[in-house]
Structure 1
């Protein structure tokens, strides 16, 4: 029961604080899933994020569904999806009636515009943490070339990000991976993994 409560809390917090849509919720989900509850590591989270970006629909609910299922099975999936959409539903019901009265208010418009740089900073911090991990994986040169290549494809050539991510995922499965030999000493035996 504690696991389902934790799943609910994690996705409810990221849903209620993720004002500005999916991109603002991604770093919050990362903080909950990787930092607070440690259900996955950065590499696993980046895989979930990449997979979620290739599928249509809101990223927060896709990530909630997958992570909830992975952590708590079918019940975890239902709890995570409920927690992810419940803040939006409650806020829409509460604010829908008053929004029309205040939508032209300069303060409300200023708050809406102020969210954009905050989301940009949050996404930048998440990207920087992934780039730091790239040093131990691909290395700086390959990761930088990959980043620049993806940027050119998406921004300048107009290729959809889902296609770029799909090609990257396909490349990860096709290209051979270097196997690191790790010595495990158990009961006086040395095994290579």
Structure 2
């Protein structure tokens, strides 16, 4: 049996991720990690952390950005195209279908119960993604201060997330420059 070309494999892999993950990009991170790092071995653990950080800080949905970055790294432009279409297509089709029957769909009690269960499952996936990213992140007093400051700013203050990301990036650069200067 012939091997499936990488672009088709990227499309199918990310379509599966898009089809079987509820709750948005953060809920997709564990599945993206399992499929691209563990199963396909397209990227490493270190790569996924960097890709998620970049995908999170660039405009657009994190899952689509991550699919685009991973697809490009694995198979160039066409890989990025295939992965992006693959991850977005299931949601597009499902939302289009649901929009035609939304009024009836909302009123069905067992559907409401199912979505309550799905929300709980999505929360678990987000916590797993958070834990995985925490384990792979650098540790130290500086990292913890940045993490707590960013959390406090976004959770308790009306601060735009873009400013928080920019300030965190600037703080990371400043810390690296200070560390480099100390080492010389």
Q: Judging changes above 3 Å, is the alpha-carbon distance between structure 1 residues 133 and 26 closer, same or farther for their aligned structure 2 residues?
A: closer
Residue aligning to 1:111:
114
Q: Deviations over 1:47-82 (max 9, x none)?
A: 222222223322221221121112111110111111
* Aligned-partner Cα distance in 2 for 1:53–1:133: 16
Residue aligning to 2:134:
131
Q: Judging changes above 3 Å, is the alpha-carbon distance between structure 1 residues 80 and 162 closer, same or farther for their aligned structure 2 residues?
A: same
Asked if the contact 1:11/1:84 (under 8 Å) is kept, the reply is yes
Q: Deviations over 1:114-146 (max 9, x none)?
A: 222212211111211222233xx333x443333
Q: Judging changes above 3 Å, is the alpha-carbon distance between structure 1 residues 119 and 105 closer, same or farther for their aligned structure 2 residues?
A: same
Asked if the contact 1:12/1:86 (under 8 Å) is kept, the reply is yes
Residue aligning to 1:47:
50
Asked if the contact 2:67/2:83 (under 8 Å) is kept, the reply is yes
Structural RMSD (CA): 2.3
5+ long unaligned stretches in structure 2: none
Residue aligning to 1:84:
87
Deviation at 1:18, TM superposition (A): 1.6
* Aligned-partner Cα distance in 2 for 1:115–1:161: 27
* Aligned-partner Cα distance in 1 for 2:63–2:24: 8
TM-score (norm 1): 0.78
Residue aligning to 1:155:
155
Deviation at 1:40, TM superposition (A): 2.4
Q: How does 1:95-110 map to 2 (within 5 A)?
A: 95-110=98-113
Q: Judging changes above 3 Å, is the alpha-carbon distance between structure 1 residues 56 and 170 closer, same or farther for their aligned structure 2 residues?
A: same
Q: Give the number of the structure whose alpha-carbon radius of gyration is greater.
A: 1
Higher strand share: 1
2:73 is the alignment partner of 1:57: no
5+ long unaligned stretches in structure 1: 179-193
What SS class does the counterpart of residue 103 from structure 1 fall into? helix
Deviation at 1:161, TM superposition (A): 2.5
Q: Judging changes above 3 Å, is the alpha-carbon distance between structure 1 residues 32 and 167 closer, same or farther for their aligned structure 2 residues?
A: farther
Asked if the contact 2:146/2:168 (under 8 Å) is kept, the reply is no
Number of matched residues? 175
